[in-house]
A = this chain, B = another copy of it.
Amino acid sequence: MLTPNMNYSHLKSSYLFYNIAKKTREYLAQHPDTHLYRMGIGDVSLPLCDAVIKGLHKAADDQADAATFNGYMPECGAPFLRSAVAGYYRGRGVEVDDEEVFISSGASDELGDILDLFDRSNRSLIIEPAYPAYVDANVMGGREIIHLPSSRDNGFLPLPDDDTDAELIYICSPNNPTGAVYSREQLKVWVDWANAHNSVIIFDGAYEAFIEDETIPHSIFEIEGARTCAIEICSLSKTAGFTGTRLGYTVIPKELVRCGMNFNEMWVRNRTTKTNGVSYIIQRAACEVFTEEGQRQIKENIQVYKKNARTLMNALDKLGIWYTGGKNAPYIWLECPDKMGSWEFFDKLLNEAQIIGTPGAGFGKCGEGYLRFSTFGSPEDTEEAARRLLELLDK
């Protein structure tokens, strides 16, 4: 008698994006032809940069001719792209071997898949508010989850204390949803803690390209000791607008070993068994991101989103609303004014200013009373949203 993975029955339904969509639909039904200022969605709006587009066309042409055609790709990634990513790390002073870089279809895919390396008995520590998939992927795997709530008091950047006890530690910095970033010293505390407890940090670096403060680490591997306790999962989704084009990369140092098992070797075995690599076309185009011209072009796009962030931060500053993020991250996490709840403020913004945010309560209990703004909208919409915020909340 077959038994399904019954852990799925323990998944809680997340009504966050469903409810946002429902409320938006209802509002538009009552107010047709109204323009909404969508500051909720975490998706990019700018097209791919020119270098990547050229790379896509070139790669498509390669696939049209038997002489340049590519069949099965190496499962862990095309050597040219693994090398380009290693070079990108080297450019920031982080030595990473090509064979420590694994090319993936994106960070969300990899965050789910990587759990296969770990026994189900391990407990996963998730700092909240958190990206909901961290929790769900661990529930599906039957792992115990240890929720570590954060708050305005610690700037949404908690550190381990005497009570901290878990084998897997999720750290996302710059953070989704809070936009908070750990300093070098704070990350060092986590790395030392993980090494001392034989734990492993799963470092989600999907938003590193938004860091502008030079003292903030882009990679966990900028921290001494991280090579024996961390896996880093990155993505071009926000870095280069690849949300719909799909490409990420993962770094697993060869020194990461527990109980005699080498995680880099295990991941090679996993990839060669469970994948046939990422599309040649996408890998070839992604390679353009790491060229000088590609870097210049993607930074131009990031500057557009950063200007959006400044526009929104200026408005919040004028209103005296507390927030984190925005400076080194594409998200702004703000305290709802007048002690409003997350959904209460969401409704007010939608009904009175036609602005859509993301209620913080959707990212975990401790997100109640907060709201997330994304900076990925158009500059025009973002400016108008800022103006409306000021008009709505200025007393």
Residues on A facing B (Cβ under 8 Å):
1-6, 8-9, 11, 43-48, 50, 52-53, 56-57, 60-61, 63-66, 69-73, 105-106, 108-109, 111-113, 116-119, 121-122, 133, 136-137, 140, 167-168, 197-200, 237, 241, 243-246, 258-259, 261, 263, 266, 269-270, 273-282
Q: Is the CB of B280 within 8 A of A198?
A: no
- From the candidates B168, B269, B275, B281, name the one contacting A108 in the complex (CB within 8 A): B275
- From the candidates B63, B109, B116, name the one contacting A47 in the complex (CB within 8 A): B63
Q: A57-B57, A72-B244 known; A259 and B3 CB under 8 Å?
A: yes
Q: Is the CB of B57 within 8 A of A63?
A: no
Instruction: State how many angstroms separate the Cβ of A165 from the closest Cβ of chain B.
Output: 11
A44 to chain B: closest residue by CB: B71
- From the candidates B8, B167, B246, name the one contacting A276 in the complex (CB within 8 A): B246
How far apart are the CA atoms of A258 and B168 in the complex, in Å?
Answer: 32
Q: Is the CB of A63 within 8 A of B53?
A: yes
Q: Is the CB of A245 within 8 A of B279?
A: yes
Q: A113-B274, A258-B2 known; A56 and B281 CB under 8 Å?
A: yes
Instruction: State how many angstroms separate the Cβ of A271 from the closest Cβ of chain B.
Output: 9
Please give, as numbers and ranges, the residues of chain B lying within 8 Å of A277 by CB-CB distance: 244, 246
Instruction: State how many angstroms separate the Cβ of A141 from the closest Cβ of chain B.
Output: 8
Please give, as numbers and ranges, the residues of chain B lying within 8 Å of A44 by CB-CB distance: 71
Instruction: State how many angstroms separate the Cβ of A234 from the closest Cβ of chain B.
Output: 14
A65 to chain B: closest residue by CB: B47
Q: Is the CB of B45 within 8 A of A66?
A: yes
How far apart are the CA atoms of A5 and B270 in the complex, in Å?
Answer: 11
Please give, as numbers and ranges, the residues of chain B lying within 8 Å of A61 by CB-CB distance: 53
Q: Is the CB of B72 within 8 A of A64?
A: no
A52 to chain B: closest residue by CB: B63
Q: A63-B47, A73-B244 known; A266 and B1 CB under 8 Å?
A: no
A sample of 9 inter-chain contacts (CB < 8 A) reads A5-B266, A8-B117, A47-B65, A70-B244, A72-B244, A105-B278, A137-B274, A244-B277, A244-B279
Q: A118-B3, A263-B4 known; A246 and B133 CB under 8 Å?
A: no
Please give, as numbers and ranges, the residues of chain B lying within 8 Å of A112 by CB-CB distance: 273-275
Q: Is the CB of A269 within 8 A of B11?
A: yes
Please give, as numbers and ranges, the residues of chain B lying within 8 Å of A8 by CB-CB distance: 117, 261, 266, 269
Given contacts A3-B122, A56-B281, 10 further A-B contacts (CB under 8 A): A4-B119, A4-B263, A53-B64, A56-B60, A56-B63, A73-B244, A105-B278, A108-B276, A246-B276, A282-B282
Instruction: State how many angstroms separate the Cβ of A63 from the closest Cβ of chain B.
Output: 5
Instruction: State how many angstroms separate the Cβ of A167 from the closest Cβ of chain B.
Output: 4
Q: A64-B53, A245-B279, A279-B245 known; A3 and B258 CB under 8 Å?
A: yes
Please give, as numbers and ranges, the residues of chain B lying within 8 Å of A279 by CB-CB distance: 105, 244-246, 279, 282
Please give, as numbers and ranges, the residues of chain B lying within 8 Å of A274 by CB-CB distance: 108-109, 111-113, 133, 137, 140
Instruction: State how many angstroms separate the Cβ of A149 from the closest Cβ of chain B.
Output: 22
Instruction: State how many angstroms separate the Cβ of A238 from the closest Cβ of chain B.
Output: 10
Please give, as numbers and ranges, the residues of chain B lying within 8 Å of A105 by CB-CB distance: 105, 275, 278-279
Please give, as numbers and ranges, the residues of chain B lying within 8 Å of A122 by CB-CB distance: 2-3
Q: A47-B66, A72-B244, A270-B140 known; A5 and B118 CB under 8 Å?
A: yes
- From the candidates B1, B269, B280, name the one contacting A244 in the complex (CB within 8 A): B280
Please give, as numbers and ranges, the residues of chain B lying within 8 Å of A270 by CB-CB distance: 140
Instruction: State how many angstroms separate the Cβ of A188 from the closest Cβ of chain B.
Output: 20
A9 to chain B: closest residue by CB: B261
A11 to chain B: closest residue by CB: B269
How far apart are the CA atoms of A137 and B259 in the complex, in Å?
Answer: 21
Q: Is the CB of B53 within 8 A of A60?
A: yes
Q: A56-B56, A72-B43 known; A273 and B3 CB under 8 Å?
A: no
